[in-house]
Amino acid sequence: MVQNFKLLLAGLASTIFASPIYGAGPPAFLLAGDSTTAIQNAAKTGGGWGNGFISTLQNGAGGINYGHNGATTVSFVNGGDWANVLASVAKYKSAYTTFVTIQFGHNDQKAKANISVAEYKTNLQNMAEDVVAAGATPILVTPISRRKFSSSGGGVAQDLAVQANATIAVAQSIGAFYIDLNRASTDYINDIGATNAETYNLTPTDFTHMNEAASVLFGNMVSELIGKSVGSALGFDIKTYTTPNATIAKDIASGTYVFPSGFGTLSSNTLSA
């Protein structure tokens, strides 16, 4: 009887995550993550794909970038960032089809964070469950690759594989949407090579954070991946709203180096009040 009850609960959880949660309007994307999601700042201490992704949103869709430099799945919650994300879900869920992207791992893996892989997975699941309870749809995102190539050859160092696999495992276990940004970014960086990849560095020796051109590039990659992952599962084609630049998308698909330019000022908040 107990085992049957556990199976029932597992089935209900999968149903909840698979069921579309939507408002009356176009998508709103709330981006939760660390510095590899966050805005590019004047101090050059962080910068990720978030604002570049927001720049791809069309036809009334918008987003807010809540990425926080140095954040882990623990500090993002304990420091109040997560409460801000959930407050925005409450604010926008009736007027928008609201999504929350969740990408961590870069700081969770560090010894000083003292977060085990099991704890990391539990934290991701808890965040996804919070999103559903708040009235939005979570999209788990595997951590974007660093651009440091292995000294022994063989391409870019895959030093986030454990966190990427853990993220996918959580998404699959609860039936949540996910995108494998780690795999897509690793493949692209390997295709273009170390010298070209270094042009995306926020500073010459920073192989983790991104300049604005890289934010546009990898933001377009995220947009393409979300279009493929979510597709028409919610009763409309999300690709109508997540619209990557055709040239950038083509270059990513073919593994061709591109350094985006002429994209103007990137915004971290394009949602109307």
Residue of 124, 244, 234 lying closest to 184 (CA atoms): 244
Tell me the CB-side half-sphere exposure of residue 28, using CA atoms within 13 A.
27
d(CA 48, CA 69): 10
d(CA 91, CA 87): 6
Q: Is the pLDDT of residue 186 over 90?
A: yes
Structure confidence at residue 4 (pLDDT): 40
Structure confidence at residue 3 (pLDDT): 42
Give residue 268's pLDDT band: very low, low, confident or very high (50, 70, 90): very high
Q: Is the pLDDT of residue 233 over 90?
A: no
CATH 3.40.50.1110 fits 2-254, yes or no: yes
Q: What is the pLDDT of residues 53-64, one digit of tens each?
A: 999 999 999 999
d(CA 119, CA 142): 16
Average pLDDT, integer, range 165-188: 97
Q: Give just the sign of the alpha carbon dihedral 49, 51, 54, 56.
A: negative
Q: What is the pLDDT of residues 95-138, one digit of tens each?
A: 999 999 999 999 999 999 999 999 999 999 999 999 999 999 99
The 3-class secondary structure across 169-213, one letter per residue, is: HHHHHHCCEEECHHHHHHHHHHHHCHHHHHHHECCCCCCCCECHH
DSSP state of 142: P
Structure confidence at residue 42 (pLDDT): 85
**Average pLDDT over the chain, rounded to an integer:** 92
